[in-house]
Structure 1
C-alpha cells in the first residue's frame, strides 16, 4: 500500500492524450405530476437538465480529476450538447483544441430521462441515444490526424477510447500505435467491439463480456477467462491485458507470463457502475506515465474504480479520495 500512496502525487501534470468517441451524457430530470389521459404513462414536470462527459470524454474527465494534463482528440457536433461538452471539459482545464466540429454529424448523446417524487429515489425511466453510424469524412479525419500529430510528441501516454462510433479509424489507430511503440510511450486501448484490431498496443483493457465477445465466447468463467486473457495478450502482442470482473475484481495478464488476481476494494457500497471502466483506464494510464509497474498501475486503478462506483452516474475520483481509500484499506 505504501507504494501506491507514493504513486498518487506522481500522477500530477502528466500529459495524456485521449483519442476517441466523445459522448455527451444528458440528464433530463422531472418530478412525477400525474398519469397522462392520452396514454398510461407518467407526466413529468421538468425540473433540471445538465450535460456531463461520457465515453472518451469521461476518460478525459477522469484523467483531469486525478491531476493529469489532458488533450482531448475527437469530434463533437455544432449543437447544444457539443457546446456544453466543450464547456464542461474546458472548465476542468482539459485542452479541447483537438475536438473537431463535424458539420454533418451531431454530438453523440445519451439522454436519460430521470423521474422521482418528493419521497422517492430518482430513477432512470428511459434513455434516448443519438449517434451517426457512418465513418467520418476524409476531411474530418484529416483534421483529427493533424491535431494528433501536432501534440503527440509531448505526451507521456495515450488512451484510445473506442466505443464503436468510428473516431478511432484504422488510419488513426495504426499511426498512434506505431508511434507510441517506436517512442516507447504507453498506449492503452479500451475498445467495446473491435479490440482485436489493436495489434501492437501496450495495454488492453476489457471487461469480462467484452473479452468473451472478442474471442467469440458466449460466457466466461474463471478458467476460460485465463485462457481468453492469454490469447488476447498473444494475438495483440501487448505488454499487459487487464480484464475487469465487476464484484470479482480484476485479472491482469503480463507478457512475462505473470497472472494477477486483484480483488475489489469496495464490496458493500456499490451505487452505480456507470463509467467505472473509464476511471480504470484513466488511473492506469496516469500510473504508467508516472513509471509504475503494470501490477501497481492496475491496483491503483482498482482503488479509483472502487471510489466512483459509490457515486451516482458518470463520476470521477480525486487524488485525495485515492489516498484516503488506500490508507483506510491498509489500516483494515
Structure 2
C-alpha cells in the first residue's frame, strides 16, 4: 500500500497527457410547483445555475485538482461555448490546454435542469455534432498531441464519441506512446474494444462492458473470463470494469481479478464519476503505485464525486478522508470479548466484500510511531483489527514493571482511534493463533522488521494476502519513553 502524504508528493511531480471530447456542462437548478398553461409540461422556477468544464475536460480538472499537471488536448467550435471553455481552462494553473478549433461544428454543450430539493435531473438539452473529425482537423489534433508525449508520464484517452478520438488518432497516439514507453489508459465509448488496440488499461463501465463482450457481467468469474478474451483481441494489459454501487473489478491480462467494493455514500449526482475514476487511476499509476492501490484510490474518489451535485472534482483532503475514513464502530463497541464475536464481525465484513487488515503490538504508551503504523494499516484495508498483547504477555516479553498501563486501558486508548475498527486482546507471546483465525488480507508491521520476521506472514500469504512494512519514525519507542519517565527526564 502507500503512505498518503508520500503519494501526494509523488503526484505533484507527475504529468498526464489527456486527450478527449471536451464539453460545456451547464446545470440549471430550481423547483417545479406547477404545470405550464401552454402545454402539459412542468415549469421550473430557476433558483441558480452553474457551468463546468465537462467531458474529457472534467478528467483534466480532476487530474489537476488532485495535484498533478495535465496537458489537455480537445476540440471546440467557433462559438460562445468554445470561448467559455477556453476561458475556464485558462484559469486552471495546473492544466496546459491545447484546444483545436473546428468552425464547422458547435462546441459540445449539455444543459441539465435539476430539481434543487430532490437533486433529480428532469431534462437535458444537448448541442453537439457526434461525427468524427475531418482529416484536416484530425491532422491538427495529432500535431498538437504527439509532441507532448515526451513530457507526459502517462496518457489518458477520454472517449465520449464526439469526434476527437477517431480511429486514426487513437491508433497513432497509442502506437507512438508505446514506442516511447508510455502507458495509455482509455475510458472507452466504442463497443469494439479492438479500436483501442495496444492500450495499457481500458476502463469501461458495466453497461459498456456488457455491450462490448456480450457477457452478463453478473459474477466475478464471468467478468474475468470475458475480460481476458477481450484483452487478447485488443492486446491490452488490463481491464477495469466499474459497476456503480457494486464496486469495480480489475482483470490483469493472464492474472487473477482484483475487486474493490464501493464505499457507502449518499449519491447525489453520478455525472462525471467515470471521469474522476479515470483521472485518479492515471495519476496514481503515474506516481508509481500498483493496480490495487490505484483502484482503491479511484473507488474512494468516485464516492466523493457522486456525493456532490454537478460535474465535480475531488481534492486531496477529500480523498484522504475517504481512503483513511473513520472507523465503522463506536469506541465502546470495538473491544472484542470472545472468539465468537470476532468470527461474526469478520464474516459480516467478508460478506460485504471488505478487505480486512491486521496489525499487533503491546501499545503500552501510544506514540507517533504507533499512530503512523496504524494509519498506514487502515489505509491498506477497509477494516482494521489490532491484536493487543495481554498484561501477562507483555510482562513475559518486556520484563517486570511492564506494562505501564493495564490491558483494558491500552485497549480503550486504541479503540478511541479513528483508524482502528476492532481491538482483540491475546494471551500468547505472538499473535499467530489470532492471525490464523482471522486470515487477514493484509498484515502490517513496522519497517524495523523484515517480511520473514513478521509472525504470521506464511498464513497471510498462503491465503492470498500481503505483508505491508511501514517505515518507522526514528526516535520513537515505548521502551525509551518509559526509561526517560523513570529517569525523570522528558
- Report the TM-score, using the length of structure 1 for normalisation: 0.91
SS in structure 2 of the partner of residue 323 of structure 1:
helix
The aligned length equals: 327
Give the deviation of 1:272 after TM superposition. Answer: 2.2
- Equivalent residue, structure 2, for 1:173: 170
Cα displacement string for residues 287-314 of structure 1 (whole angstroms, at most 9, x for unaligned residues)? 1111111222122111111211211121
More moved, 102-111 vs 45-54: 45-54
- Equivalent residue, structure 1, for 2:132: 135
SS in structure 1 of the partner of residue 137 of structure 2:
helix
Q: Which has the higher contact order (CA 8 A, sep 6+)?
A: 1
Once residues 213 and 110 of structure 2 are traced to their aligned partners in structure 1, the CA distance between those partners, rounded to angstroms, is 28
More moved, 26-35 vs 172-181: 26-35
- Equivalent residue, structure 1, for 2:76: 76
1:240 aligns with 2:246: no
Mapping 1:169-208, distance limit 5 Å: 169-194=166-191, 195-208=193-206
Q: Structure 1 pair 308/38, CA: closer, same or farther in 2 (3 Å)? A: same
1:112 aligns with 2:107: no
CA contact (8 A) 1:239 1:255 kept: yes
Cα displacement string for residues 176-229 of structure 1 (whole angstroms, at most 9, x for unaligned residues)? 111121211111001122433111111111111111111234x32113212222
Q: Structure 1 pair 44/252, CA: closer, same or farther in 2 (3 Å)? A: closer
- Equivalent residue, structure 2, for 1:323: 320
Give the deviation of 1:75 after TM superposition. Answer: 0.5
SS in structure 1 of the partner of residue 203 of structure 2:
strand
Mapping 1:1-332, distance limit 5 Å: 2-3=2-3, 6-32=6-32, 34-116=34-116, 120-194=117-191, 195-217=193-215, 219-222=216-219, 223-264=221-262, 266-328=263-325, 330=378, 331=419, 332=421
Structure 1 unaligned blocks of 5 or more: none
More moved, 313-322 vs 29-38: 29-38
Once residues 270 and 29 of structure 1 are traced to their aligned partners in structure 2, the CA distance between those partners, rounded to angstroms, is 17
Cα displacement string for residues 56-76 of structure 1 (whole angstroms, at most 9, x for unaligned residues)? 111111101111111111101
Give the deviation of 1:4 after TM superposition. Answer: 5.1
CA contact (8 A) 1:5 1:326 kept: no
- RMSD of aligned Cα (Å): 2.0
Give the deviation of 1:112 after TM superposition. Answer: 0.8
Once residues 33 and 245 of structure 1 are traced to their aligned partners in structure 2, the CA distance between those partners, rounded to angstroms, is 35
Once residues 94 and 101 of structure 2 are traced to their aligned partners in structure 1, the CA distance between those partners, rounded to angstroms, is 17
Larger Rg: 1 or 2? 2
Once residues 280 and 138 of structure 2 are traced to their aligned partners in structure 1, the CA distance between those partners, rounded to angstroms, is 28
Once residues 276 and 35 of structure 1 are traced to their aligned partners in structure 2, the CA distance between those partners, rounded to angstroms, is 32
More moved, 60-69 vs 267-276: 267-276
CA contact (8 A) 2:228 2:254 kept: no
